[in-house]
Structure 1
Amino acid sequence: MRTEIISHLMSIVGDSDAWTQIQSRVQLGNLAQNSENRSEIMKGIDMKSIAEELRKPYEGTLEQKKEIQNKQEGKCILLYAIIHGRNDDELGRTIINSGIVDSLFFIFNSRDLSSITIPFVDVIQQLTLGSNEVKLLLYSKKPYPYLLRLLNHSDNEKLEFAICSIVNIINAGSNATSSSSLHPHFDQMSTYGGIEKLYSLFKRTDINEVIKDSAAICIGQLFSAKQLPHSMRTEIISHLMSIVGDFNNFIKINSRIALGNLAKNSENRSEIMKGIDMKSIAEELRKPYIGTLEQKKEIQNKQEGKCNLLYAILNGRSDDELRKTIINSGIVDSLFFIFDTRDLSSITAPYVDVIQQLTLGNDEVRLLLYSKKPYPYLLRLLNHIDNIVLEFTICSIINILFAGSNTTSSSSLHPHFDQMSRYGGIEKLYSLFKRSDMNKKIKDLTAICIGRLFSARELPHSMRTNIISYLKTLINDSEIFIKIYSRIQLGNLAQNSVNKSEIEKGDFIIPQ
């Protein structure tokens, strides 16, 4: 029945009956999650003919126009069915290069807004959910004038698809440059009056929260490292600060990134700092994590929001005075209380990233953090199952360990060794090293941590061969940090004769 059912569903996606059209779209999308069904659907799709269908003149009587629109919407629904929920960048590139996107932009540019319906806009949004490469290919089609025109739409659903598409394309531009650079799409957006159109959308009272939030995020991203105009600075920054703890992850993550990029400019950063009270953040992080699931989620969102604000003012900055202020404010104590008392599943990346950002300061800052006895709290996080949390944690540990090493000679025992041993740190690090569910970077850093701790001390027999042989594999690693520090740790370990014998097996020589 496969061919018959799929063929029929494909024939009714452009039906004049709205219910039939919607349900056939849903069912085709569901069927397409299975590879056999999807292959059957793909047999009936010709990209070039879809591009041509979408280019057909929208003219004639009302009935004729409706027939054209139904056929065109049907083609868009077929595209939705094969794109939705899939990470198929090759398909995304095929659609963009087939002429379909050009045809859709022709529709966005030439038709009355009331005739530009969800299926048309959703194809573009689905394409912007691809990789950066796909989004930048879409950007090469100069999408902004067409998407900006849609911001005048009165329908919230269409507005949401349009603004989310813009956010995703802007993000691809951000990812292609350093966070300290001006946004590469700024000039093109300005050429089409995009800043003013986004701000007008933000100010509208007939839009939903996601649209308003996304408009603020777009503006924040476009003004990366650039001073926001005075006319909108307070309003945009205040709004972004209010949504960094949003329940919607898309909004939460992107507002955090936008604030962080805005903070690269001193005027924007001063505006952000006005809304940050360190003591109240420390108190917020101390609030009991109790109540119903919904109440706990609300507490977590608020706390993650506070951590995201701290990230925004810390990330990429060499502001050691600010780091000292945060450490001395009680925020670190509150975070360690969370690390010590909560179920690991509720300890998410934003909490741990604050500690990691603090460990990126100078040795004085890291030793001030060390005075808070961080190891038992960080070591507990090594049982986490989330690779991002694990990576932030092991990076924090290694940075604090480095501060200890930098205050002693390389031939001395590491000054943190005893404290680490007291909390079972060596065993916990080695257990992490042996896990198979973590990424390479975590494993690399864990081996370096163990090597750093033992320095000129003999590695225990139970781990000596594994740690040394692994460090030897990293000496030419593509990541510079790993390459350099694996060599340094091997050099330090070689000061012990037993370690040295293990290192020199197979006539191995530590590169200089």
Structure 2
Amino acid sequence: MIKLNRLSQKPDEKEQSIENSEQDDDDNNEEEEEDDYDNKIQQEQKGQIQTEVKKKKESKRVRKRRIEKEKKLQQAEQEKLNQIKLEQLQQKDLKKDIKGTHIQKRIIVTRKLQIWDELVQLFKGEKHDKELVKKIAIDLGVVDFIINNILTTDFQAPFDGYAYPLSLFTHPGDYDGYLKFVGRNPFPAFARILFHENEKIVEIGLSSLRSLLFSSGHLQSFTEPNPFFDMIQSTNTIEQLYKFFRRTDNKEQKDQSACCIGYIYRSRDVEDQRMRKDVIHHLVQLLNDKEDWRHDWESKGFALLCLNCMSYSAVNHTEILKDGTLELIRNSLNKEFKGNERQKKMIIDDQFNLDGLLVLILRGRKDQGFKQQIVDSGIVDPLLQILRTRDMQFLTSSSTISFECFMSGCEDQILLQILNKNPYPALLRILGYPQKDISNNTIYAIYNLLVCGINQSKAEEQQQHPHFGAISACNGIQLMYEYMHRVKESKKVNYSAICIGICHKSREIEDFIIRKDAVRQLVRQSGNKDVCGHNSKIALAFLALNNTNRIEIEKRGFRTSDRQEKLIYVDVDERINKNKIKEESKSDEKGDDDEDEDEEDDF
């Protein structure tokens, strides 16, 4: 019975198991359907979100187009409105001559002043509107009329009504408008304003004249003559400026007028000997002004720029060196660096300005007689002393730049005199400083001194470099190696490796890593056909005189030549080369669209 019962239960268990499996399948199907439903909902939601984003993007585009369209319409309407206003101004009492009885003259002048006020109001808008007003005013002849009135109106009239509107045209704007305005020759009008009794009106004329002149620097290089010189000279403006310079007792006005005259004579002889002497002397003294250490630094900056521009004339350059200019620089550099924070700042500022003066009379000039004059004046010694001992936080780039300008183009006779002053501690200290504008082009100065050492060595070819001891005493090899890895400019990286190679002439580079990296850099550069490639090959030849170095070189697949060649000096002041490249590219600009490297303006 028990067995039968067990047998009878088996079919029921099977049915139950079948039912259970069917239930599981149903459950699975329901879960799948639910998942499909959820996925479908998610996709629909995602599609809705994408649609909404798309609609928003489209609405943004539409809104942007609409705003741009409205802006263009507003500009067009404003242009028409401004033109109508200016035409109305011109058609009113603007052209009336001031004549008649005293009362009639006063009525005409009053009406003209009202018209000027309306003109000034047109300038009180957005920048675009101002340029638009300038353009229309020039095209309609309003500017010509204002200039004519300034040149002919009696000073007893309310003169600011003429001076101020004209000065608005000198404010910074687009260069097309600037050229159009200068084309109307406003210089004599501003020069006449300088002789008005009202100091405020004089200031308007002087600041406007300075703005006009210095804006011309954007049209061409500062080393080229002023493009408007003939126009300015033909209208007697220079003589008027010089007359004002001599007459005024206001120091700020004297500074500005001297700067204006200096800038007019950029790269051009100041033919009037008295004017040349007075203006240059005043600009040099302005740089050395110690009466007020907070004096307008903008004026000093302009003075430095003007002296720089004038110095490209040999006659002006000679005048700049008179009045004990070199002695002035030497005394400033020799000043003991001590005192409180304010006193130290005064010393730094004074040396910064006179370093700048030294740079401008040195830059681009390779006259060995003049460089000998610099050495004889005693400027080099205190300059090296500053680079060697002054706390880095008080050291400025002007000191390194002035030394680099002096070193650029020096021949062996001058370099030997520098070597007698033991320059390596100062130069290697600067090279090790991570701040770029301090270390600057110091590596090229070190390279030229090393080349001079090779050239003056009269011993056998196998002799080691005579400066190795002086370099090693300053940890120079390590500093040059660290600089090679720190600096980004490829040329400076290459010359760091070249200096390491020259120092180790016939001598093993004991540090394996330095040897490996220096050789690799030199071999890589030796394939170039430029001066750097030439010097790299010679540095490798010097290294190969030592067996250990030669093995490392030959690993790189390089074979040194037995032919004896000379190292070539490099320009320490790279800006000279950049200027030359820039000028050459300008002459070939007609067929090329190549861009020049931007020049660094240190001053």
The two structures share one fold, judged by TM-score above 0.5? yes
Shift of 1:394: 2.8
Shift of 1:421: 0.8
The one-character-per-residue Cα deviations of 1:126-167 (angstroms, maximum 9, x if unpaired) are: 34xxxxxx8799558755823564344425256325413412
Higher Cα Rg: structure 1 or 2? 2
Distance 1:50 1:228, change over 3 A: farther
- Structure 2: distance between partners of 1:42 and 1:381: 58
- Structure 1: distance between partners of 2:461 and 2:546: 12
- Structure 1: distance between partners of 2:136 and 2:119: 18
Shift of 1:423: 0.7
Query: Within 5 Å, which residues of 2 pair with 1:2-81?
Result: 56-57=86-87, 58-59=89-90, 60=92, 65-76=116-127
- Structure 2: distance between partners of 1:354 and 1:100: 44
1:145 aligns with 2:185: yes
- Match of residue 390, structure 2, among 333, 337, 342: 342
1:417 aligns with 2:471: no
Kindly report the root-mean-square deviation, in angstroms, between the aligned alpha carbons of the 2 structures.
4.3
Distance 1:410 1:317, change over 3 A: farther
Distance 1:192 1:477, change over 3 A: farther
Aligned length: 443
1:400 aligns with 2:440: no
- 2:172 is aligned to 126
Query: Within 5 Å, which residues of 2 pair with 1:61-210?
Result: 65-76=116-127, 103=137, 108-111=143-146, 114-115=160-161, 125-127=171-173, 142=182, 145-146=185-186, 149-153=189-193, 154-156=201-203, 159-170=206-217, 172-175=219-222, 179=223, 185-203=228-246, 205=248, 209=252
1:457/1:493 contact within 8 Å kept: yes
Which amino acid in 2 is paired with 1:464? R
Consecutive unaligned residues in structure 1, runs of 5 or more: 1-39, 80-94, 128-133
- Match of residue 378, structure 1, among 427, 430, 440: 427
Distance 1:508 1:78, change over 3 A: farther
1:454 aligns with 2:504: yes
- 2:406 is aligned to 358
Distance 1:465 1:185, change over 3 A: farther
- 2:13 is aligned to none
- Structure 1: distance between partners of 2:373 and 2:307: 20
Identity %: 26
The two structures have a TM-score, normalised by structure 2, of 0.61
- 1:242 is aligned to 285
- Structure 2: distance between partners of 1:66 and 1:377: 63
Distance 1:73 1:234, change over 3 A: same
- 1:464 is aligned to 515
Which amino acid in 2 is paired with 1:450? I
- Structure 1: distance between partners of 2:189 and 2:392: 46
Shift of 1:236: 1.0
Point out the more displaced range, 355-364 or 164-173.
Answer: 164-173
Point out the more displaced range, 367-376 or 157-166.
Answer: 157-166
- Structure 2: distance between partners of 1:76 and 1:241: 38
Shift of 1:214: 4.3
The two structures have a TM-score, normalised by structure 1, of 0.70
- Match of residue 367, structure 1, among 405, 412, 416: 416
Distance 1:291 1:452, change over 3 A: same
Which amino acid in 2 is paired with 1:163? R
Which amino acid in 2 is paired with 1:390? S
Shift of 1:380: 1.9
- 1:431 is aligned to 482
Which amino acid in 1 is paired with 2:172? Q
1:413/1:457 contact within 8 Å kept: yes
Distance 1:164 1:425, change over 3 A: farther
Which amino acid in 1 is paired with 2:145? S
Distance 1:110 1:171, change over 3 A: same
Distance 1:231 1:429, change over 3 A: same
- 2:594 is aligned to none
SS of equivalent to 2:248: coil
- 1:3 is aligned to none
- Structure 2: distance between partners of 1:385 and 1:42: 53
SS of equivalent to 1:452: helix
1:300 aligns with 2:351: no
Which amino acid in 1 is paired with 2:337? Y
Consecutive unaligned residues in structure 2, runs of 5 or more: 1-66, 93-110, 151-159, 194-200, 290-294, 566-603
Point out the more displaced range, 461-470 or 43-52.
Answer: 43-52
SS of equivalent to 1:389: helix
- 2:273 is aligned to 230
